[in-house]
Amino acid sequence: MNPIPTSLYERLGRREGITRITADLMKNHMANPTVKARYENSADLARVERRAVEFFCAGSGGPEAYTGQDMVTTHKGMNISEQEFVAVVDDAMAALKTNDIDAATQNDVLAILWSLKPEVVRV
């Protein structure tokens, strides 16, 4: 008998775990010279972080609603480069490792992040 699959939301630690991962992600962005200026110049960094938590909760199968704009609308006109996108993905993977997320779950998150690339880069 196979065990019942656990949702990505549960594997990431539900809202509490996703909030911790997102806090580490934001710290990583602020220390990353490739994307630091994007975040330092944000009018409301706390709002960006809250929306990221919502986005990851909703997108990983959690009950939370995402109240932000779609990815294309959010990133339209920002002219985000391939290097910036890769830096953000690398920061996310580092945050997952910091929070002891297992390799299979990291790979699931990586696949989702890469699937968003066309909605983020140079839109």
Contact (Cβ atoms closer than 8 angstroms) between residue 17 and residue 24: no
Give residue for tokens 């983020």.
120
Q: Residue 2's pLDDT is what?
A: 60
Handedness of CA 36, 85, 50, 6 (dihedral sign): negative
Q: Residue 42's pLDDT is what?
A: 87
User: What pTM does this model have?
Assistant: 0.92
Q: Token pair for residue 61?
A: 């199968």
Q: Residue 28's pLDDT is what?
A: 98
Spell out the domain ranges in the chain.
13-119
Phi and psi at residue 82, to the nearest 5°: -60, -40
Distance in angstroms (rounded) separating the CA atoms of residues 31 and 80 = 18
Contact (Cβ atoms closer than 8 angstroms) between residue 61 and residue 9: yes
Which class does domain 13-119 fall in? mainly alpha
The tens-digit pLDDT sequence of the chain (123 residues) is 566 669 999 999 999 999 999 999 999 999 999 999 999 988 899 999 999 999 999 999 999 999 999 999 999 999 999 999 999 999 999 999 999 999 999 999 999 999 999 999 999
